[in-house]
Each structure stands twice: as structure tokens, then as C-alpha cells.
Amino acid sequence: MIASDSPATTAEVVVSRWTGSAQVPPPQAGKRSRRSRFGSANAVPPPPDPTLALPLDERVTETAVPVDPWADSAADLWAGHPGGYLPAEPLPPTRPLPAEPPPFSPPSVAPPFSPPSVAPPAARPPVALPPTRSFPAAPPPPPPISGTPRMPAPSPVPPPRHAPAAPPRPAPPPPAPPRTSKRDRRGRIGSPPASGPPAAPPSWPTPPRPRRRRRRWPWVLLLMIACCCGCPAYFGKPMWDQYPASATLPTDLTGLKLRDDATSKQTVQQLKADMRMTNWLAEGTFAGVYADSRGKTVTIFGVTGFRFSPDQDLDTEFTRLTGQYGLTDIRDYDTGVRGEHQRCGTGRAEGATVVACTWADHGSIGTALFTKLSLEDSAERLPDLRDGIVSRNWN
């Protein structure tokens, strides 16, 4: 605080103290809320700051001088204490500590076992060795020079001492038995103890010798050859046996004579023309009329050439004959030869009853019309007529 020349006028100057922090602005009056502004008129104002009522000189703490409260006291409290401190009061008694245990003394240990001393074996007398090749004698040493000190003789080396044997180690304890479960204990309690020597372990069977791997390629090769050659040979043999074929009408055929009259020739020409019209790819046609002395006649006609499916050709030919002769009671007969088929039926031709029998194979197809014969007899005579007319060229 600095005073002016006039005692009546004083000015208060507060010296600011430097600090490392930024200067804090003075607090400002906050905005009052709407409720506080329009509140009750009897609202209690906040209490004033008590420090504002102090004198101006007591507010300043930076320049205030400390005051000793005992300065005005007559008695000096520190006169009897040169050190300036009061004597410390004794501490209250505490629980006594327990007595220390006596020092530990290790038990006496027996001295280690020392084995009795064993005398070394007596030295054997030297054995004379056989004479060896003599070496030249070494030259005698030169005489000692006077004035030269002699080296002292080496002292004998004492024999090595045997170290005392170590005491025998105690035997190790036996191994602990394996722990068993409760289930094993129950079974062991209920079963009687085993008596006698233990049974020998079962002998394991010797494993079988490995089988030698067989080569399969020869069998595969044979199978391929059989498939490539066997199948065509099986299905191609009937064609090989029945084709090619040719037809020739003999004069005498199984007791029947070939008729050469005008009516028979006209019938033969008509039958050949019909067969050529129905078989365009035929290699040859044949037709003839045969009769015996009892008046039985057989009219036979057909064509030669390769046929891949003789069974289908038989169906086609018999369908044509059925429409022409009105065949009924049609039956199939087994010839026993692969590739050969035969079928017969009963019909009428020029007012007379006839039996029509047709054969078909891979080389020819033909039909025979029988008169005055039954169906079974006609079927039996047809193979003989075919063999007498049709011949295989490979024969």
C-alpha cells in the first residue's frame, strides 16, 4: 500500500504476484433464469461474503507480517529446554517377546567305513628274456670338469596310495504297486487267488504268405479276341454255310417226275414272273411241276440270293400266299438249323385243297404246293425237296 502526500486522500494499490498460470478473469454475473427473474418478491438473497467486512489492510496477505501470539507472555516456555523441544514421554509397556529357542546342534555322524588295508602283491622275480640283437656299446661319458657343480640325485618316487573305497550304497526301495481302479478291486476280491505257474502267452498265428500277383493281361487279351472274333463267327457261320446258293430242277425228285406238258410250262412261266415281281434283288428264279403215278402233284417255285433276315422274308412271303390261296391252320416247324425257317398252312387252289409249305434261309426262299397230302406229311417232305433242288456253291 502506497500513501500520497495528502493524509486525507489514500489510494489502494494491490501488487500482483507473478505465477506460472494464466490470469483468471473475474467472475461475471450469470444469466438469471426466468423463474428467478419472475419469482417471488420474498425470495431470500444470498449471504454476503464475510471477507468483505474486514479492513482493507487485513485483506492483503502478501504483505502481512506474521504475529507471535506468545510475544506478550511473561513466562518463557522454552527457557528450560536448551534444544527447544520438550522431553519425549516414555512409551507404554508392550507384551514381552518369547524366549529364543536353543541353537540347533546336528546329530553325530558315524565316521565313514574304511576298508582294511591290503598289502601289495609280492614282486615276481624277473624272467630272463631270450638274447636279442646286440647294439653297439655307447661311448663312455666324458669325465666331469673340475669346478662344475653336480646335480643332486633324484629322490625315489613313493608308490601311489589307493583311495579308500566308497561305502556301499543302500539298496533302492521296491517300486510301488500300480494303482488299481474300484472295478478291478471288486473283481480281485471276488475271484480266488491263482495257483500254479503263470500260463504261457498264446502263440500268434503266422501270417500267410503274400499271394503272387497274377498277370491279367493275357486273360484280357483272350477275352478281347473272343469278343472280336467269336461273336462275328457265331452270327456269321449260318450265312457262310447257306450263301451263295443256286437252284436246279432235276427230272426225278424223290419219286416225283418233272412234267413237261404245255399246261405245266404255262404255269411255270407264270410262277417265275410272280416271283421276279416280288423279289427284285433275287439272283435267280426257279419253278416246276412234279407228279407221281398215283396222281399226287407238287408245284414248287422260289428264288436264290443273299438274305440278311430270312425270318422277316418268310413272314412277307407267307402273307402274300395267304391272300392268294386263303391259307388257314398256319404252323411253324423247327428245322434244327440256325438261319433256316419253315411254315405250312392249308388252302384251296382251282377248287382243290392244297397244303402250302415255305422255307427261307440266308441263300434262298421257296414254296411247295402239295395235293392229296396232309399238313404233317407235307412238312416232312419239304426239306428233301429243297435239298434236291438248292445246292451250296461252296460244296
pLDDT tens-digit series, residues 345-363: 999 998 899 999 999 999 9
Q: What is the CA radius of gyration of the chain?
A: 77
Q: Is 302 exposed, middle or buried (0-12, 13-18, 19+ CB in 10 A)?
A: buried
Residue 93, H or E segment:
none
Q: pLDDT at residue 89 above 60?
A: yes
Enumerate the domain spans of the chain: 242-392
- State the amino acid at position 131 in one-letter form: P
Closest-CA residue to 249 (of 394, 373, 385): 385
Query: Is the pLDDT confidence value at 145 over 80?
Result: no
pLDDT band at 85 (very low <50, low <70, confident <90, very high): low
Specify the pLDDT at position 267.
Answer: 94
DSSP 308: S
**Beta bridge partner(s), residue 303:** 285, 365
How far is it, in rounded angstroms, from Cα 337 to Cα 326?
A: 29
pLDDT per residue as tens digits for the range 240-285: 889 999 999 999 998 999 999 999 999 999 999 999 999 988 999 9
Q: Which residue has the higher pLDDT, 135 or 46?
A: 46
Is 352 within 8 Å of 358 (Cβ atoms)?
A: no
Instruction: State how far the alpha carbon of 376 is from the alpha carbons of 40, 88, 294, 298, 383, in Å.
Output: 147, 161, 19, 15, 13
Region 155-164: mean pLDDT is 56
Distance CA 313, CA 320 (A): 11
Q: pLDDT tens digit string along 282-333?
A: 999 999 999 998 889 999 999 999 999 999 999 999 999 999 999 999 999 9
**pLDDT at residue 387 tops 90:** yes
Q: Does the pLDDT value for residue 8 go beyond 80? A: no
Check residue 1 and give its pLDDT.
40
Question: Helix, strand or coil for residue 364?
Answer: strand
Mean pLDDT of 93-118: 71
For residue 94, what pLDDT is reported? 80
When the pLDDT of each residue in the chain is averaged and rounded to a whole number, the result is 76
Indicate the pLDDT class of residue 10, thresholds 50, 70 and 90. Answer: very low
Residue 81 has pLDDT above 80, yes or no: no
Q: How far apart are CA 229 and CA 234, in angstroms?
A: 9
pTM to 2 decimals?
A: 0.45
Average pLDDT for 225-234? 82
Number of helices (H), then strands (E), belonging to the chain: the values are 8, 10
Q: Between these two residues, 305 and 225, which has the higher pLDDT value?
A: 305
Integer Cα distance of 125 and 281 in angstroms: 135
Per-residue pLDDT at 154: 54
Least confident of 191-195, 322-326, 371-375: 191-195
Identify the pLDDT of residue 223.
87
DSSP state of 6: S
| CATH for the 242-392 domain, from 2.30.30, 3.90.79, 3.40.1000, 3.30.1360 | 3.40.1000
Which amino acid belongs to residue 318? F
DSSP string, 114-163: -PPP-PPPPPPPPPPPPP-PPPPPPPPPPPPPTTPPPPPPPPPPPPPPPP
More confident: 148 or 166? 166
pLDDT-above-90 percentage for the chain: 34
Give the model's pLDDT for residue 237.
Answer: 86
Residue bearing the bigger pLDDT, 361 or 179? 361
**Is pLDDT at 80 greater than 90 in this prediction?**
no
Position 105 pLDDT exceeds 50: yes
Average pLDDT score over residue span 160-187: 63
In terms of Cα–Cα distance, which of 293, 287, 294 is closest to 271?
Answer: 287
